[in-house]
Amino acid sequence: MSVTRALLADGAWTDAGVKLGNSLGAIAGFLGILLLVFFVAGRASGRLSRPLAIGVFLGPAVLLLIIGLVAPLVRTVYLSFYNDDSSRFVGGKNYGWAFTSDTIQHVLFNTLLWLLVAPLAATGLGLALALLVERMRRQAIYKSLIFMPMAISLVGASIIFKFIYEARDISQPQIGLLSQLAITLGWQHPPNWMLSQPLNTFLLMVVMVWVQTGFAMVVLSAAIKAIPDEVTEAARLDGAGGFRLFWFVTVPMIRTTLVVVLTTVMITTLKAFDIVRTMTGGNFGTQVLANEMYSQSFVQFNTGRGSALAVILFLAVLPLVAYNVVQLRKERAVR
């Protein structure tokens, strides 16, 4: 038995050594090719020097962009016009199913609800916290604590809140913070939070808001600090103060940043997959478009419908990305 274990251990070490050697060889080969290309680019002169330099620096990035983004996008669009196993062309049947099926219509409604509630809540809360923290001492400590959830993955945050929302019978010890809090406040029979519709959808949004609020607060706090003191002092001399100063001076001055933060959180929310997948699996009326796309493609193995949902999700994200780019360019032009 000990001899067998020794042989297995030796085999594992040998296999690990071979894999490590292959990895190091691939890295060395890549570095060698890169050094050779840079050497040739450095030796080039005359008319070829500028085009060659552009090709050396942009070529790998463009190649990776084509392989990692453009080619999968074209293939997904192509597969969306085929049936479940991509053996027969069905035209726009998958898109017709996506917009006429009652199930998918509910999924689209949930996705729209996420898109309206979560970004507005995260951005609004982030702005409120940015204004409050500006008046406190040792701002860095409070900002770090509020920003900390951004360091947690959405899966990790979902697991944390899954314990918070855990519901047990009233006769058993409660491990869910929300249920225990409800009982402490006098609610004798709190519901099973993840089974209660549509409350469960809003409780899932709380996870996204918790994670994204720190991002919104940090960015908006920087924008508020960038407001010239002369503008604020002039507004105060004109009698503006409190809410009027905030609404008529602060908000217009940070409007571009506010829109960028809002659209960024909207893009993240529209692609929300981890939270729903981890906490409910899309059951109990909580399904969203990104998770339905995954379920159709990798659970039900219907490549055509999954690809169609992926294209719809891409088209929904595209206007937000374009608008975000336009706003960033406007902000740079002003600066």
- How is the chain split into domains, by residue range? 2-79, 93-334
* Per-residue pLDDT at 237: 77
The CATH T-level fold of domain 93-334 is: MetI-like fold (1.10.3720)
Longest Cα separation, the chain: 89
- pLDDT tens figures, 236-278: 877 777 778 888 888 888 888 888 899 889 988 988 888 999 9
C-alpha 153/C-alpha 160 separation (Å) is 11
The pLDDT of residue 75: 94
The secondary structure of 220-282, three-state, reads HHHHHHCCCHHHHHHHHHCCCCCHHHHHHHHHHHCHHHHHHHHHHHHHHHHCCCHHHHHHCCC
Amino acid letter, residue 322: A
Which residues in the chain come in under a pLDDT of 50? 3, 7-8
Q: What is the pTM of this model?
A: 0.80
What per-residue confidence (pLDDT) applies to 5?
Answer: 57
What pLDDT does 7 receive? 47
